[in-house]
Amino acid sequence: MLYDVIVVGAGPAGSTAARECVLLGSSVLLLDKAEFPRDKPCGGGVTVRAANLLPFEISPIVERVITGLRLTTRQSNGFERTFAGPLVYMTQRAKLDQFLVERAIDAGVTTRLGVGVKQVERLPDGVAVHTDDGRVQGRTMVIADGANGQVSKLSGIEVKPLHHVALEANVSPPGGVTEPWQSSLGLDLGGVPGGYGWIFPKGDHLNIGIGGWRHVGPDLREALQGLVKFYGFDQKDLWGIRGYHLPIRRQGSPLADGNIVLVGDAAGLIDPMMDEGIHSAIFSGRAAAKHIAEYVAGEVPDLDGYRRQIENELVPQLRVSRQFHDLFHLTPALHMAIERRTSIVWSVTCRILRGEQTYADVMRRHKNLGTIVEFVSDLIRVTPLLRRIAGLRDPAPPQRFFLRGQHR
């Protein structure tokens, strides 16, 4: 059978793209090499801004609603911040991803789960995908195969993101989850170059993890041990310890190629400051569906409109997030001192998490701040000493002041 759309990968990006494509009139096959429910290394924090992109409630799979944050700097100087409404919904990826696949099936998506894609043939008018289960053909393809996916490469598309790495584990306290984690999550900042440690409460357990730039990988096991102890738990009670990559998009990295689009982690759309990827996964899945519908209807010659939409609407957010990230990691203690003494950063953070404001809005509203952040971020990238202090080892070109033409 010839499908209008073959979606490879049934995480939040793929299942969203598949569901929205069907609702816009296309025939869709959603493939995943895993049987569902399947788990994935992830804190399972769905920000309000991410949940709001979905046309249905995710309450059936929410285990906790987060309204507060407990912040520490290198495991000391702790303080709390709270908000009057939800900021993040806590779930487990096995539940969230199964729930989203079910919504896709309800909408009319055909699924083949437990079927991996092994080879991709580019045809003049579509793609042929070779799976464990045979060959299927599509007029378009959505690559949603996540951080470690190979389908872009199999399709002749080169994606070379930068990487964050993270190591996570779980602990089930005998008396269940107690204060302060009933409705707050914890972040420990400044301890790892380019990242942070976290404690995210679930219904009956806590997810504890730590991550940063790829070069911190060899130190993460020891760092996780220290963090677990700091949060008052014993190393021997941990279960489900695992590590994973978080792909951070490089400027100009491919998003579309003819009749193929890349969404979510496959396109490296993680927010560098927060390491949040579910929002971008859903956002890009929805955008892909819109442009695929136009292509299938013969209104446009290719899917380049998807690239333009992501570069205009999402990439500017990720770029500003990356600039804040650079700046924060240059002087984490200073930022935490400001955060501790004022509520300005907290109220902006709340608005961003809730989707009431974007990073780019912050830069637009506070032009002087924006100029300083851009300048210092670029300065860090071209100054070896500052790069070392900020923990930035991967080559990352400046984005404005030193290479004006490439500012996008």
Ligand X SMILES: Cc1cc2nc3c(=O)[nH]c(=O)nc-3n(C[C@H](O)[C@H](O)[C@H](O)COP(=O)(O)OP(=O)(O)OC[C@H]3O[C@@H](n4cnc5c(N)ncnc54)[C@H](O)[C@@H]3O)c2cc1C
Residues lying near ligand X in the complex (CB under 6 A): 8-14, 31-34, 38, 40-45, 116-117, 144-147, 149-151, 166, 168, 209, 244, 246, 264-266, 270, 275-279, 281
In the complex with ligand X, which residue's Cβ is closer, 117 or 363?
A: 117
We find the least distance from the C-beta atom of residue 289 to ligand X, in angstroms, to be: 14
We find the least distance from the C-beta atom of residue 166 to ligand X, in angstroms, to be: 4
In the complex with ligand X, which residue's Cβ is closer, 112 or 139?
A: 112
In the complex with ligand X, which residue's Cβ is closer, 266 or 376?
A: 266
We find the least distance from the C-beta atom of residue 186 to ligand X, in angstroms, to be: 13
CB 170 within 8 A of CB 240: yes
C-beta nearest to ligand X: residue: 277
In the complex with ligand X, which residue's Cβ is closer, 33 or 139?
A: 33
In the complex with ligand X, which residue's Cβ is closer, 141 or 296?
A: 141
We find the least distance from the C-beta atom of residue 187 to ligand X, in angstroms, to be: 11
Sequence-distant (≥ 6) Cβ neighbours of residue 83 within 8 angstroms: 67, 68, 350
CB 300 within 8 A of CB 286: no
We find the least distance from the C-beta atom of residue 365 to ligand X, in angstroms, to be: 25
In the complex with ligand X, which residue's Cβ is closer, 277 or 305?
A: 277
We find the least distance from the C-beta atom of residue 209 to ligand X, in angstroms, to be: 5
